[in-house]
Amino acid sequence: MFNEFHHQVRGRGHELDGTRGQDRTQYLSRGGVQAICLADGAGSASHSEFGAQAVADEGCAALVEQFEQLVASVDGGQIKIELLERLLTKVNMLAERHGRDVHDFASTFLGVAVSGDKFLGAHVGDGVIGYLKDGDMRVISAPDNSEFANQTTFVTSHGAAGSMRLFRGSLQGVTGFILMSDGAGDSLFNARTRQLAAACEKLIVAVGAAPARLSQNSKHKKQWRKFIDVRVRNATKDDCSIGVFGRSVAS
Amino acid sequence: MALNIGADDLVENPTPRVPVALCLDTSGSMMGDKICELVKGVNLFYDAIDEDDDAHDAAEVSIVEFNSAVSLIQDFASIERLNRIDAIDATGGTALGEGVNLALDTLEKRKSTYSNAGVLYYQPWLVLMTDGKPNGRPDELERAVHRVTELVAQKKLTVFPIGIGADVDMNVLARFSPNRPPLRLQGLSFREFFEWLSKSVSRVSRSTPGDTVKLDLEGLAGWAEL
């Protein structure tokens, strides 16, 4: 089993504007499968924080419920279509309930699930997913920023399935994973070298070394949240969110 | 286990850039008040960017002048490296097409520099200001119109064609701006225009993925006629 930590914080830009944060995270553990997801709501989409929450929730449910099927499938293209359809169905329902266009709920999606000796994950849009394997911090999925800094692909974008990155593999030698929105990436991902900051490894190791059952207000989680709320948040004006899986080397 | 993360464990990424290419008519007809007000406006633009926390780190400006010839009088640079302009000589003809082509070439080079250095950037802006009718090479003018309209159609460039005075050929400027009519400066309201431009650059530099940066059309009042 992996320990988990996920957290989102409203960026300084939204605080100044008086608008809500648009990053959302979620974690789900069921039937021996653990999933952690995050979504970054689109800046110009009026209800993107709701879309982001729906995508993070549904992403966790999909990865947990369909883990075996997704891991066993040989048709990656079909997996992308099915996974995206499931996320979009959820967002469409939300849009209908609010009586708004689905694009008002646009968000990115990043998710990782683990079970037994396997992992899988999916990524649409910007943000970064990395993992710590054999002591090396590596990027699994880098940001998809198109050409310009304020452009990326969202779950609701035309062609989202084509731009989805899907990955899976063995957990042998894997100590943990880290998922981050672009705001957190401002201080945790080097855009020039395309490498993750050393802080990512330290965070994964810390999460992995913590006691397995932690309350939300344990001193460990308080300390990790403080790191995101202060250090990571102060390095950007954007919202910041992060999801971490960690396990001790012995496990 | 204590989380011991120092400054060295974090990265500091460069601020995404907003490249702004000013392509300015410095032909003989600009002589006198027009060129003086234009120079003052550009310097005010620099000052306004300098004072804006967001635009300060993001904006990079280049200046191409065109008269009978064209020249790059300021390559792309951040505000800290931009020298205020004392004066610009206004003389000769209006090689507008050649000027726009040089501005676009400079922009392409800058985008390559950003990409090679891993620096993100926003959609570039081209500000084209003229008071007359182009009289450079017709093929260069056609090439410039084609390049600009292609980039605008691909959403890779935002263009602001600005006419100055009564003698400007607005029809030619309109060819550079398929999505929106060119603007005619009211009198010599360069100051108001550049104030508006600096605020617009600041808004772009604050935008995040998914943001649609809409132009502040109400802010046009007082300096431009559509």
Per-residue pLDDT of chain B (226 residues; tens, 9 = 90+): 678 899 999 999 999 999 999 999 999 999 999 999 899 999 999 999 999 988 999 999 999 999 999 999 999 999 999 989 999 999 999 999 999 999 999 999 999 999 988 899 999 999 999 999 999 999 999 999 999 999 999 989 999 999 998 889 999 999 999 888 898 888 878 888 888 889 888 888 887 776 666 667 667 666 666 5
DSSP state of A83: H
Which has the higher per-residue pLDDT, B214 or A154?
A154
In a domain, B177, yes or no: yes
H helices present in A99-218, as ranges:
160-163, 182-188, 198-209
Sign of CA dihedral A205, A38, A31, A74: negative
For chain B, what's the residue count? 226
Asked if A41 and A25 touch (Cβ cutoff 8 Å), the reply is no
Task: Kindly state the average pLDDT of the residues A103-108.
Answer: 96
Minimal C-alpha gap between A194 and chain B (Å): 9
Over 60: is that where the pLDDT of A251 sits?
no
- Judged by a CB distance cut-off of 8 A, whether residue B121 touches chain A is yes
In a domain, B155, yes or no: yes
**Which of the residues A5, A150, A219 would you substitute to probe the B interface, choosing the one with the greatest number of B C-beta atoms within 10 Å?**
A150
In a domain, B153, yes or no: yes
Locus of tokens 């209800």:
A47
Measured CA to CA in angstroms, residue B169 lies from A161, B56, B130, B162, B183 at distances of 47, 34, 9, 11, 12
Locus of tokens 């046009």:
B220
In a domain, B66, yes or no: yes
A49-98 pLDDT, tens digit per residue, is 999 999 999 999 999 999 999 999 888 899 999 999 999 999 999 999 99
Quick one: pLDDT at residue A17?
A: 83
Cα–Cα distance measured from residue B127 to residue B42, given in angstroms and rounded to the nearest whole number = 12
Asked if B188 and B37 touch (Cβ cutoff 8 Å), the reply is yes
In a domain, B1, yes or no: no
In a domain, B19, yes or no: no
**Percent of chain A with pLDDT strictly greater than 90:** 82
Ordered domains of chain A (ranges, CATH)? 3-246 (3.60.40.10)
What total of structural domains would you count in chain B? 1
* Chain-chain contact of A187 with B10 (C-beta, under 8 angstroms): yes
Cα–Cα distance measured from residue A221 to residue A219, given in angstroms and rounded to the nearest whole number = 6
A217-233 pLDDT, tens digit per residue, is 888 999 999 999 999 99
Chain A residue with Cα closest to B117? A192
Q: What is the mean pLDDT of chain A?
A: 94
In a domain, B5, yes or no: no
Among A139, A222, A125, A136, which Cα is nearest to A188's? A139
Measured CA to CA in angstroms, residue B190 lies from A133, B41, B78 at distances of 58, 5, 21
**Percent of chain A with pLDDT strictly greater than 70:** 99
Cα–Cα distance measured from residue A20 to residue A45, given in angstroms and rounded to the nearest whole number = 12
Q: What is the ipTM of this complex?
A: 0.88
- Judged by a CB distance cut-off of 8 A, whether residue A191 touches chain B is yes
Measured CA to CA in angstroms, residue A219 lies from A132, A225, B143 at distances of 24, 10, 65
Which CATH number covers residue B184?
3.40.50.410
Task: Kindly state the average pLDDT of the residues A21-44.
Answer: 96
Chain B residue with Cα closest to A125? B209
Q: Which amino acid is at A176?
A: G
Domain that includes residue B56, residue range: 24-209+217-225
Minimal C-alpha gap between B157 and chain A (Å): 11
* Chain-chain contact of B122 with A197 (C-beta, under 8 angstroms): no
In a domain, B16, yes or no: no
Cα–Cα distance measured from residue A131 to residue A125, given in angstroms and rounded to the nearest whole number = 18
DSSP state of A107: B
Quick one: pLDDT at residue B164?
A: 92
State both tokens at B155: 């959403």
Locus of tokens 């500091």:
B12
Cα–Cα distance measured from residue A127 to residue A143, given in angstroms and rounded to the nearest whole number = 5
Find residue B61's DSSP bridge partners: B20, B77
